[in-house]
Amino acid sequence: MENLGVETSLLGFGCMRFTRKGGAFDIDKAEKEVLRAIELGVNYFDTAYLYVGNEACLGEILSRNHLREKVNIATKLPQYKIVSAEGIESCFQEELRRLKTDYIDYYLMHMLTDIASWERLEKLGIRCKAFAPIQPFLSTHYNYRDHRKILVIDGKVAFTGGVNLADEYINRKERFGHWKDTAILLRGEAVQSFTLMFLQMWNLTEKEPRWDEALLPSPPVEAEGYVMPYCDCPLDDYKVGESVYMDILNRAKDYVHIMTPYLILDNEMETALKFAAQRGVDVKLILPGIPDKKAAYALAKSHYQYLTAAGVKLYEYTPGFVHAKIFASDDVKAVVGTINLDYRSLYHHFECAAYLYGGPTVGDVERDFQRTLEQCRRVTPETIRHEKLGYKLGGSLMKLVAPLL
């Protein structure tokens, strides 16, 4: 699951076969087995609602040894027993109680083996699609990813930004130190634009695409400034994400402040960053202090010497990992979205963002940047010289495959 940014052990522990003693599980023996597995590096534990007493046994072992945050729990919804949407919630809450936790890492459908069962769940209001499912033929499309993060509620409110639906994004679960992210809430006409972006992707596999029922009128709002939602697609010739960033850099007069988790640059973007700094613009970038992907981290560091020599100011977020994707410039412009400064986001991903011009929200973005900057260390020629040899060598080698990272 590394591609999802999740670190699980290659081997998982199936809890169904815990040793029984009489009519119940032998919790003392099961505890020794679980602790030994964790000691050996196993962090994925599988159980299910159907395994009577099993969830409760695992929950008790993890609770009394204070191990919940060190493991991933997978359990299962007994979909064949569900007859209503309320039943799903009731079952889920019961499993949380048994496992003595307030979240489950992987929630699976148990024994979903036929189309009829899937259709029955859809009738309960649950619909989900996989982006670009694997097909039995070779295609360059496998390199594309849906990187958009869009949440629209009743046509009235839309959210976008770097935040995914996972516990580390709200720091309920710590994986790479403190997780710093950003998102923006929008109301008004901009909401309909994000609805359209979602429907464009959803309707790709619909036999009869439906638009009107979801394109609800957005209540008008009074606000200062302007917001322009936009998206990027790898299937056309318009590199919108890159063009917006380049335009901000080229037109900036006073400052351009950036947060990005990855810094994997082509010559054009690196030149734009350096040229902005060389003509007197205050160009600052905040990058992670603790990486989620060491290869990408090493590659980012390979740009440090050339950028700092041109006057670009680089900072690393000491509490942990920066996943925010923002640009702020001259107290007038800002971008909040999903677009990283790397090849994948700029050329291979489906992306989205909100471009802000004027208004108080631009100032909010800049103030968030400044608050984050207070927790950062400055990258200097000295810190670059003393960088670990592994990162120096790794960064040079990674440049050969940079477009794939």
Give 45-55 pLDDT, tens digit per residue.
999 998 888 99
pLDDT over 80 at 359, yes or no: yes
CA 257 to chain centroid, in Å, comes to 21
- Whether residues 115 and 191 fall in one domain: no
CB of 25 closer than 8 Å to CB of 58: no
From 46, 76, 105, 147, the catalytic residue: 147
From 114, 154, 212, 236, the catalytic residue: 154
Burial class of residue 175 in the structure, from the number of CB atoms within 10 Å of its CB (0-12 exposed, 13-18 middle, 19+ buried): middle
Q: Tell me if 84 is assigned to some domain.
A: yes
Domain with residue 23: its CATH number is 3.20.20.100
CB of 18 closer than 8 Å to CB of 56: no
From 181, 232, 330, 368, the catalytic residue: 330
- Whether residues 61 and 115 fall in one domain: yes
Dihedral over Cα of 362, 146, 286, 376: its sign = positive
Of 33-47, 97-111, 153-167, 201-215, which range is least confident? 201-215
- What's the pLDDT score for residue 87? 84
Tell me which residue range forms the domain holding 205.
Answer: 147-404
**DSSP type of residue 103:** -
Structural domains in the chain (count): 2
Q: Tell me if 139 is assigned to some domain.
A: no
- Whether residues 165 and 299 fall in one domain: yes
- What's the pLDDT score for residue 147? 93
From 301, 323, 333, 349, the catalytic residue: 323
- What's the pLDDT score for residue 210? 78
Q: Tell me if 74 is assigned to some domain.
A: yes
pLDDT over 70 at 332, yes or no: yes
The length of the chain in residues reads 405
**CA 100/CA 61 separation, integer angstroms:** 10
- What's the pLDDT score for residue 173? 81
- What's the pLDDT score for residue 2? 43
- Specify the higher pLDDT residue, 212 or 186: 186
Q: Give the number of other CB atoms < 10 A from CB of residue 165.
A: 8
CB of 221 closer than 8 Å to CB of 188: yes
- What's the pLDDT score for residue 3? 41
Of 158-162, 298-302, 356-360, which range is least confident? 298-302
**CA 161/CA 351 separation, integer angstroms:** 10
Active site residue 149: yes
Q: Tell me if 77 is assigned to some domain.
A: yes
| Residue 1: band (very low, low, confident or very high) from pLDDT cuts 50, 70, 90 | very low
- Whether residues 360 and 242 fall in one domain: yes
From 76, 257, 284, 325, the catalytic residue: 325
**CA 283/CA 250 separation, integer angstroms:** 11
Q: Tell me if 27 is assigned to some domain.
A: yes
- Whether residues 309 and 338 fall in one domain: yes
- Whether residues 180 and 237 fall in one domain: yes
- What's the pLDDT score for residue 403? 64
Domain with residue 388: its CATH number is 3.30.870.10
State pLDDT tens for residues 277-289.
999 999 999 999 9
- Specify the higher pLDDT residue, 208 or 245: 245
- What's the pLDDT score for residue 172? 78
pLDDT over 80 at 358, yes or no: yes
Token representation of residue 329? 């410039």
Mean pLDDT, all residues of the chain: 88
Q: What percent of the chain has pLDDT over 70?
A: 93
- What's the pLDDT score for residue 379? 96
**CA 379/CA 303 separation, integer angstroms:** 12
State pLDDT tens for residues 114-152.
777 777 777 777 777 777 665 555 555 557 889 999 999
- Whether residues 161 and 223 fall in one domain: yes
Active site residue 147: yes
pLDDT over 60 at 5, yes or no: no
pLDDT over 80 at 399, yes or no: no
Active site residue 110: no
pLDDT over 80 at 384, yes or no: yes
- Specify the higher pLDDT residue, 7 or 225: 225
**CA 385/CA 120 separation, integer angstroms:** 61
Mode of pairing for the β-strands spanning 145-146 and 106-109: unpaired
From 149, 257, 284, 349, the catalytic residue: 149
Q: Tell me if 172 is assigned to some domain.
A: yes
State pLDDT tens for residues 89-122.
899 999 999 999 999 988 888 877 677 777 777 7
- Whether residues 249 and 280 fall in one domain: yes
Token representation of residue 362? 């631009």
- Whether residues 225 and 287 fall in one domain: yes
- Whether residues 250 and 314 fall in one domain: yes
pLDDT over 70 at 192, yes or no: yes
